Amino acid sequence: MITLTKNSATREDGVLESKHLKVCLVTNRRSLFEALGSSMGFNGLQIRHRLADLAVEHDCGFFIVDTSINDMHIWPAPLLANPDTYSKPWLFLVSRVSDTSHLQLLPHNARFLDREHLTTDALISFIKKQTDPELGKRIADVHYLDNINSFFIRMENGRPYILPVSDLPEADSSGVTRWLIARNRSYFSVTQESGNRFEVPWDDILFHCEPEYRYYKGKQSQSANRDNLNRIGLAVRRLRETKGYSVQELAQKAGMKRPNLSRLEHGKHQPSLEILERIAEALEVPVAEIIARNSPR
C-alpha cells in the first residue's frame, strides 16, 4: 500500500508528498515498487504480491494492478468481495492484449497504462489527477449527443459522465444548438432551439452522475430505501414476537427459508409484495400493518 493525501502536492525537488488516501499497489516487480516509492517520497511503503489481497483491503481509495501477477485469473474477485470499489479509481498495467483476458468486468473508473513503456512521471501524473479533488470540479470536455439528447462530459480528473438533458430542470423540450465551456471550466452554458439558455455548473454534473459525490441524488433514494427496509423488518419482527413465533416457525408458516426471513427482519432483504402477503397471512394481520409508516409496538 502507498499512502497519499487527497490534496496531493509536489515538493520543489519534484517528489510527490501525500499521507492519507490509501493506494494499493499489486505487483511482483520490486523495481516498480522501489521506483514509485523513491519518486513519491514515502516512508514504510508496502507492496501486495497477490490480487487476492485486495479482497480484504477495504480502506483503499485507489488501486494499481500489474496484470502480470500470478493470480490475475481470479479477477474480478476483489470487486465482488467489496462492491464499494466499483466506483474507485483503478489503474491496470498491461503490455499485450492477453493481459486483459480476465478483465471481463471492470470498475466504473478503470484506466490502462503500457507496462513496458511506463515512466514514473506518467504514473505519478495519473495518481495526481485522481487524488486532486479540484480536478473533479473542472470540466475538460463536453459533447452533445443528439441521438440520445444527452451531454457527454469529461472532467479534468479524467472521469466521464453522460448527463441527459431531461435531468436539467432549466431545459425545455427543444433540441440543443450550442454549448460552451466557461473559461474557468466550472460550468458550461447551453443554448436550445427555442432560444432558452442556461448554465450547467460542475456540482450539478456530480449531483446527477457521480455516486461518490456527497450530494449525489442517488444517495437520497438509497437512504430512503434502507429506511423502508429497516421499518418493514422491524414491523415483521415485532409482530412475530407478539405472536410468540420463532424465526423458524414463521418462516415455515410463510413458506420461506429461515435465512431469508432473518435477513428481511434485519433490513437486508428486499421482499416482494407476494412475500409480504404470505408473511401477513401467517401472522394473521393485514399486509398494511407490515408496510404502514407507523410500525406496530
- pLDDT tens per residue across span 14-41: 333 444 567 788 988 877 766 666 655 5
**Contact in structure between 187 and 199 (CB atoms under 8 Å):** yes
Fold type of domain 2-131: Rossmann fold (3.40.50)
Q: What letter does residue 48 receive in the DSSP assignment?
A: B
Beta strand spans in 79-129 (E): 89-94, 109-114
Residues 6+ apart with CB under 8 A from 172: 192, 194, 196
d(CA 179, CA 53): 46
Instruction: For the domain covering 224-291, report its CATH number.
Output: 1.10.260.40
Cell of 41: 517520497
Q: Assign residue 212 a region: left if phi > 0, alpha if psi is -120 to 50, beta otherwise?
A: alpha
Cell of 239: 409482530
CA 22 to chain centre: 16
Same CATH topology for 2-131 and 135-209? no
For β-strands 21-26 and 60-66, DSSP reports them as parallel
**Residue with grid cell 435465512, as numbered in its chain:** 259
pLDDT reported for residue 221: 64
pLDDT classification of 43: cutoffs 50, 70, 90:
very low
pLDDT reported for residue 139: 97
Spans of all domains in the chain: 2-131, 135-209, 224-291
pLDDT reported for residue 143: 97
Mean pLDDT (whole number) for 167-176:
92
Residue 293 pLDDT greater than 60, yes or no? no
Mean pLDDT (whole number) for 136-159:
94
Q: What letter does residue 256 receive in the DSSP assignment?
A: -
pLDDT reported for residue 224: 67
pLDDT classification of 254: cutoffs 50, 70, 90:
very high
Helix, coil or strand: residue 161 = strand
CATH architecture, domain 135-209: 2-Layer Sandwich (3.30)
Residues 6+ apart with CB under 8 A from 231: 293, 295
pLDDT reported for residue 21: 63
- Residue 186: what are its φ and ψ, rounded to 5°? -90, -10
Report which of residues 101 and 190 the model is more confident about. 190
What are the beta bridge partners of residue 21?
4
Q: For residue 165, which of 153, 155, 157, 181 has the smallest C-alpha distance?
A: 153
**Contact in structure between 227 and 270 (CB atoms under 8 Å):** no
